[in-house]
Amino acid sequence: MTTTHDIVDAVVIGTGAGGAPLLARLARAGLRVVALEAGRHWNPKLDFATDERAQDKLFWNDERLSAGQDALAFGNNNSGTGVGGSTLHYTAYTPRAQPDDLRIRTEFGVGEDWPIDFADLASYYEEVEQFLGVSGPSPYPWGPTRNRGYALGPLPVNGAGQLMERGCRTLGIRTSPAANAALSVGYYQEGVGHRPGCTNRGFCQAGCTVGAKASMDVTYIPLAIHYGAEVRPECFVTQLVRNASGRISEVVYIRNGQEERQRCHNVFLCAGAIETPRLLLLNGIGNSSGQVGRNLMAHTALQLWGEFDEDIRPYKGIPGAIISEDTHRPTNADFVGGYLLQSIGVMPVTYLSQMARGRGLWGSALKQAASAYNHVAGINILGDCLPYEHNYLELSDETDSRGLPKPRIFFSNGESEERMTAHADQLMRQIWDAAGARNVWTFPRNAHIIGTCRMGNDPDTAVVNADGRSFDIPNLYISDNSTFPSALSVNPALTIMSLALRTADKFLTSQRRTA
């Protein structure tokens, strides 16, 4: 067994949206940091094909068991692996949360408030947007006034986006080009170098070959390496070993089938909202609150598709082109929180596979619907979801190929999510009707796993405090989608990255105090 005797300042587990920015921040402060990442370190130019099947390798495909009324699809609908994590295949929509997103309980009397304010996040939002080179309109039509506009102007709008603009205009709904973490023109990044602009290849969800999309592997990871961080790919963490004082002193992981150990002063768990609670449960630690794996939320994410006379070619252009946040707090709402509307481009196999599941078409009906692919466009929503007793993750007694218990995830939408989805269904149908759609159909789904190690001020109801630090283990921090106390009515990645930088800064400040 290899023993890494060096005691590093920090081990970061996972290199996605929550891990990579924090890794760079700690390295910049001069700490000795090692990232352990289960997946591979890809070279997009050589390794990525414009082909969905070939890109299956980007997804976390260890089997998970999905239970509940609205069983969640994992794999390509959910989470990724590799240096860069799920940002390798995210669509790179990067809207900011709005201040009231963090005050759901205050506003509605249910759900949870965040233990931090919007003001705690605002400067980090700006920093991440400028560093990644987010493209978007300035001013942005919704949310508080900003100190600075987006780094780059908006990306060009594809067919689905034009149709959403057309439909919304008729109905008097405001739209705007979306904020996207893909470069509308080439961009120079400190510590990273030059990245080229988007070539409109439309395959963001299968990995960007040119480096235009701000996945972590072309942004915060090279920055972290520039500042001296070590990134160890293909290292699957299995154990967090504690010493007599209850601190984690060693992280155990499997590399090439062999067990290795890394000694450390601090651990940052950033394995995503399924694997983070799973690791804690496997190790039986950090759970005095009983909340590890609980409060599991998943955004309402109904998609609506239609066929149009126009030639659309849904594989072209940044898939997420147009947004509307006019539904952030609809006046006629009978649900908690709100949602946003987005246009969606789509790759062929993803579209047809969803059509098979959603409409159950086969035989000649399938063939006919499939032949309309070039004329298809979609819109979807992304909205709040409340935490419920009945939605959680547990360890099953079935083991996976690594010999570890598979996680079982229970998920059923509650009344609020169902009402929101019904509201959105009606509205999106109106928009698509106004845009000229035929053969409209909806694909019910929930997206993003959130909240399974939530942060809060009370150690009885939260797993980590507002700084991301475990209430039970003083040198354990969590930074990923699991710490969100509420789902937010926007896509999560920008907030995960911003919170990661804040967690790193809070940690560094606390180190300076004790030093």
Partner 1 sequence: MSHPANTVRSLLQTDLVTAPTREALNGRLNAPPRRPTFFSADEFALLQAVCDRLVPQEGREPSQRIDIASGIDLRLSENKSNGWRYDDMPPDGEAYRLGLRGFDESAQAWFGQSFRDLSPEQQDEVLTAVQALEAPGSTWDILPADHFFEELLAEAVENYYSHPLAQEEIGYVGMADAPGWQRIGLNNLEDREKQTDASA
Q: Tell me 58's DSSP state.
A: G
Q: Which of 312, 310, 345, 306 is nearest to 439 (CA)?
A: 306
Q: How far is the CB of 408 from partner 1 (least distance, A)?
A: 6
Given partner 1, ligand SF4, ligand FAD, none, residue 182, with its beta carbon under 5 to 8 Å by kind, binds: ligand SF4
Q: Kindly indicate which of the ranges 63-71, 83-91, 105-113, 503-511 contains the residues binding ligand FAD, using the contact rule CB under 6 A.
A: 83-91
Q: How many Cα atoms sit within 13 Å of 236 on the Cβ side?
A: 15
Q: Does 496 bind ligand FAD (CB under 6 A)?
A: yes
Q: Does 177 bind ligand SF4 (CB under 6 A)?
A: no
Q: Does 215 bind ligand FAD (CB under 6 A)?
A: no
Nearer to ligand FAD, 326 or 480 (CB): 480
Q: Does 487 bind ligand FAD (CB under 6 A)?
A: no
What is the C-alpha separation between 436 and 422, in angstroms, rounded?
Answer: 21
What is the C-alpha separation between 204 and 89, in angstroms, rounded?
Answer: 6
139: cis peptide before it, omega within 30°? yes
Q: Does 504 bind ligand SF4 (CB under 6 A)?
A: no
Q: Are 121 and 284 in contact (CB under 8 A)?
A: no
Residues in contact with partner 1 by the rule CB under 8 A: 46-54, 56, 59-67, 71-76, 78-79, 156-159, 162-163, 199-203, 209, 310-313, 315-317, 347-349, 352-353, 355-357, 360, 362-364, 366-368, 370-374, 401, 408
**Footprint (CB under 6 A) of ligand FAD, residues 467-486:** 480-481
Give me 162's structure tokens. Answer: 């034009």
Q: Are 21 and 220 in contact (CB under 8 A)?
A: yes
Give me 402's structure tokens. Answer: 């690594």
Give the x/- contact pattern for ligand FAD in 88-117, rule: CB under 6 A. Answer: -xxxxx------------------------
Given partner 1, ligand SF4, ligand FAD, none, residue 411, with its beta carbon under 5 to 8 Å by kind, binds: none
Give the x/- contact pattern for ligand FAD in 376-415, rule: CB under 6 A. Answer: ----------------------------------------
Q: Does 198 bind ligand SF4 (CB under 6 A)?
A: yes
Which residues on neighbouring strands pair with residue 71, listed in sequence order?
none
Q: Are 106 and 115 in contact (CB under 8 A)?
A: no
Nearer to partner 1, 227 or 351 (CB): 351
Q: Are 33 and 512 in contact (CB under 8 A)?
A: no
3-state secondary structure of 246: coil
In Å, how far are 32, 35, 154, 222 from 164, measured between CA atoms? 49, 41, 16, 37
What is the C-alpha separation between 247 and 54, in angstroms, rounded?
Answer: 42
Q: How far is the CB of 343 from partner 1 (least distance, A)?
A: 12
115: cis peptide before it, omega within 30°? no
Given partner 1, ligand SF4, ligand FAD, none, residue 270, with its beta carbon under 5 to 8 Å by kind, binds: ligand FAD
Q: Does 182 bind ligand SF4 (CB under 6 A)?
A: yes
**Footprint (CB under 6 A) of ligand SF4, residues 276-335:** 318
Choice from 48, 236, 268, 477 touching ligand FAD (CB under 6 A): 236
Q: Are 302 and 70 in contact (CB under 8 A)?
A: no
Nearer to ligand FAD, 306 or 492 (CB): 492
Q: Which of 43, 73, 70, 44 is nearest to 60 (CA)?
A: 73
- 315 contact partners, CB below 8 Å, separation of at least 6: 202, 203, 345, 346, 347, 348
Which residues of the shown chain bind ligand SF4 in the complex (CB under 6 A)? Answer: 182, 198-204, 208, 210, 212-213, 318
Which residues of the shown chain bind ligand FAD in the complex (CB under 6 A)? Answer: 13-19, 36-39, 78-82, 85-87, 89-93, 205, 236-237, 270-273, 275, 279, 320, 448, 480-481, 491-494, 496
